[in-house]
Each structure stands twice: as C-alpha cells, then as structure tokens.
Amino acid sequence: MRIIGLRVYHVLPRFTFVRVDTDEGIAGWGEAVLEGKSRTVETALHEYERFLLGQDPRRIEHIWQALYRGNFYRGGPILTSAISGIEQALWDILGKSLGVPVYQLLGGAVRERVRLYARADGDTPEECHAAATWARERGFTMVKTGVSRMAHALETPGWLAHEVARIEAIRDALGKDLDLAVDFHGRLGPAMSIWLARELEPYTPIFIEEPCLPENVDTLATVARATTIPVATGERLFTKWGFREVLEKQAAAVLQPDLAHCGGILEGRKIAAMAECYFAAIAPHNPLGPVNLAASVQLAACTPNFLVQEFATLGEGYLERPFVARDGYIDLPAAPGLGVEPDEALLEERLYPGDWDSPRWLHADDGSVADW
C-alpha cells in the first residue's frame, strides 16, 4: 500500500480536515487546524506531501519521526498541527486496512464509553445557572465554564466577586454530585490566579484550567502549590517534550493534549503514559471538529488515566453518521479506523474560501489581557 495524494478541506465554521489517499482505495481522515493560521498549516501539509507520496501509510512511527526530525527546525504549533492531522489519517488507514478500531491497535479498550462535558457559560450568574441546568437535565455529569472578563495583573474585589458569583450559581444548579471545571484561559497572572482559586475552593471545581500561560512552568507550579484545586494545562503544549517539564515539576494534575496539535494519536498516548507515572489524569482538549473528536475518543478508549473529553460538535452536518451522546457519554465506536466518515458532499457545500478570522489582540486598549 502506498500514499498517492493528500487533500485539505477548510470547512465552516473553522474546521480543517485532511484526507490521505492510497493506491488501494483506502482513504484516511485527520484534522489539522490551528485557529487563525489554517492556510499556514495547509502550506505545511503540502510541503510534507512531497515526502509522503509513495510511502507505506502503515509505517506510522517511521513517518512521524521523518516528518518531525527530518528538518533542522522541529515542533511548534504550525508544524506539529500539520503532523497531527497526517498522523490521525494514517491511523485511520491502518485501522481500516485491518478492519478494527484504532484503540484495538493501541492495547484495547479499558472502558465501554467516553465521558463528555458540556459548557455552562454566561455573563451573569443567572445565565450560568440556566446553562448548567440545561446540561444537568440532558444527563451530563460535568460542565466547564470560563473566566468571563479580561483581567489586569491584579484586579478589584468587584471583579473577583462577579466571577465567584457565576461559579456559585453553577454549583447551585449542579448540586454536589456533578463536576465543575473553570477555565482561566491563561488570562490571569499567578497572583490573581491564586486569589481567585482560593475564593473558588468552597465550590470544589474538579480543576482550574490554564491559571496562567504554560511558558513559565515554575509559575504554573507556584499556582498548583497554592490551591487545593487541581490544575490543568496542555492545549498549548506540543509533543511529549512539551509536557515533560510540567510533569517533572508537578505543575498540573490534569494534562490536556489536543490531538490536532500535540502530534497526533500515538503522541497523545505517549503523553498519557508519561502522565500515568505522575498520577496525572488526561482530559483531551478539543474545541474543534468531529474528526479530532473521533481521534480523541480512540485515545480515551485505551487510556487508563483518561478523565473526560471536551467537544464542540458531534458531527451533525459533517459526518455521514454523527456521534450520539447518551447521558453525557459516547459509546465506543466499533467501526474500523477512527470510526467516522466525513460526508464529502456536505463538506464541499461548506468550504470556506479564505482564512479564519485572526485572533483578537493579546492586549486590550485598557492594558488588560484578552484571550485568543
């Protein structure tokens, strides 16, 4: 079996799928997008295509190493996102060629279904309460919300009270038997994160996400040691090397590799194995499309320290057979490969001609810090 071509689909609202074709008629799908830089990633994909043509797609580790190590410059969000999409597609091809799901090739399933969490966002406590109630009534056992406002290095008691009131409203809607996570989005500095985390401790979040940006792991470790709430990070880290220091310094109890960015499915499994040695859990990041969800479900199926899965869509309007969530869980797919097939006719209808909107400026006019 040999690779004969690669095609990229930019699809509204902001999903980017890659299809790898073989001379035996088996096509594999992956998701290779970087928010705000989709055309840049596409260029990297086509640069890698020159190497891929003629390769045996079943030699996944060999191809990954060649793509990652074959150039002087390695890693980073652009190159690793491109590799991630290709790698997902190669696993899809291998699973289809053998007639088994990917998780069967990675050690087999350790669970029968994969837990999802819903969003519970809102600008006011009332909106947050309503969103959490909606999720609870539909069977979700966990919700996540985010810090709703930009923040200066240190903020006012009024800013703090507003955020705490939102979390209090969500906990009131959920009761004590469901889980709540709070995403700080990297918007806060360590001092403000510690202050907010201590105010949130009575509402027992399962984790706080990106209390500060992961560039300075010592700072992240300082926050982790200053609160009883577990810290989560990882969506902006790439490959096993990007997670090494976080684990060694025990700066996070929950790792969130994104399989569309971190290097793909097997790299995600390696990160999870590293985390297992430090008793850290895995909660794959995925505010992206259904192919990345499919890849993440395969990882969750065979990973003993898996915690919960993020999702933005179950694939309606993109997949021939979208995922179905029952009581906040997805049953493990039995179909071979990634277990999903994009509906190419629907993708063609939703192709996006340009690049996605650029990220918002990192610094707002008033000096506060905005999220990407």
Which of the residues are catalytic?
A: 185, 285
Nearest CA to 82 out of 236, 262, 319, 342 is that of 262
Strands (E), 263-363: 281-282, 325-326, 329-331
Strand order in the sheet with 113-115: 113-115, 329-331, 325-326
**Local structure of 290: helix, strand or coil:** helix
Q: Give, for 4, the enclosing helix (H) or strand (E).
A: strand 3-11
Q: Which amino acid is at 63?
A: I
Residue 257 three-state SS: coil
What is the DSSP secondary structure assignment for residue 151, as one 8-state letter?
B
Report the relative pairing of strands 113-115 and 27-31 from DSSP bridges: unpaired
**Token pair 């809102």: residue:** 122
Nearest to 295 by CA among 311, 318, 278, 273: 311
